[in-house]
Amino acid sequence: YGLSGLRCGWILAAPEIARRVWLLNDLFAATAAHPAERMAVTAFDHLGKFQARTRTLLAANRALLDSFLDSRPDLACFRPPAGTIVFPRLEQGDPDAFFHLLRDKYETSVVPGRFFEMPRHFRLGIGGETENLRAGLERLAAALDDFGKSQRSA
């Protein structure tokens, strides 16, 4: 639905799961932000609109991502049939050196896979606006090209 910041999706789970998450939510989110709760209640009245917008956005973003990944032999990536996150694997070189280059020279960040015990991977979100994703993938491609050149000359 594109409402992840509201942290309310668990409400739509199966009743038993929702009840268990509700108990955990009460434990860990002792003082929920009232404006966020009000926005969530309002959003639930319009889920169809959010869903339609999000599906359109993700279809465009997934096509953009697929084209990008098809052009990158330096990345391997399982492409899940749904969702807003992918987890590409850098095929060559030191992943941390690449992540530093990406951040320092191209002002672009990804979540390194070492946080998930998979150091050659990185987490890449595709749930944002299409033009932002396009710009980010262009910077990612430039960084991969730059990194590949440095690996060949080393």
Annotation: CATH topology of 53-153:
Aspartate Aminotransferase, domain 1 (3.90.1150)
Q: Give the pLDDT score at 77.
A: 97
pLDDT of residue 73 exceeding 90, the answer is: yes
Q: Give the pLDDT score at 35.
A: 80
- The whole-model pTM stands at 0.78
Integer angstrom CA distances of residue 15 from 42, 47, 121: 21, 19, 35
State how far the Cα of 154 lies from the Cα of 152, in Å rounded to an integer. 6
Q: For 123-144, how does the pLDDT look when each residue is reduced to its tens digit (9 = 90+)?
A: 999 999 999 999 999 999 999 9
Q: Give the pLDDT score at 11.
A: 72
User: Which DSSP state fits 121?
Assistant: B
CA angle (23 as vertex; 20, 27 as ends), nearest 5 = 140
Domain extents in the chain = 4-45, 53-153
What number of other Cβ atoms are within 10 A of residue 144's Cβ?
23
Q: Give the pLDDT score at 103.
A: 97
